[in-house]
Amino acid sequence: TEDLLADWATVLSVKSTHDSLLASLARALDSSGQLTSAQREGMHVKQGLHNLRTLGEQDSLLTLVASKTNAAVGILDTDGVIEWANDAFVRLTGYELAAVSGQQFVDLLCGPASEPVAIKELELAIRRGRPVSCEVLAYREGGSSFWVYCDVTPVLDDYRRLARSIVFFSDVTKR
């Protein structure tokens, strides 16, 4: 530590910025082991930034796909509450995103003529984190009914616990 204090005293006693930088560089070159370590750390930081940039680009592409697809997509929390829905969801159901966010997916789309067994199966699969595909009679915001094919995919965290579910659904009334 005495050598370090002496080096800093030398750097601080230098009058010009140029001389100060040269003194600092000389100190760094004298510590070649530390310089190598700093270079290694710099490479790790550079790689980390590259990885973040790549993830950001992938995230942008996934957002583009989810927002532009004709399939309605909803992201649900572990209790089946809608966290996010795409534009196709809005077009198909007539509900605006602000109106559906925070609502139970099953409660929002089901109505008086919806089959209770199918609804219960869908609801249990979502809460238990199990994949399920089914057709149910759903209702739009205005009250008109339509048949939807739902495909629920659970998303698990690193500990294999349910983190959320992704629901894809489409109008199959014409079938």
Per-residue pLDDT reduced to its tens digit, 104-122: 999 988 899 999 998 999 9
| pLDDT(21) > 70 | no
Residue with tokens 């309605």: 72
Residue 3 has pLDDT above 60, yes or no: no
Q: Is the pLDDT of residue 25 over 70?
A: no
Residue 18 pLDDT > 90, yes or no?
no
pLDDT by residue (tens digit) across 39-69? 555 566 666 666 667 666 665 655 665 566 7
CA distance 72 to 169: 5
DSSP 42-79: HHHHHHHHHHHHHHHHHHHHHHHHHHH-SSEEEEE-TT
What local confidence, expressed as pLDDT, does residue 126 receive? 93
What is the sign, positive or negative, of the torsion defined by CA atoms of 65, 72, 94, 121? Answer: negative
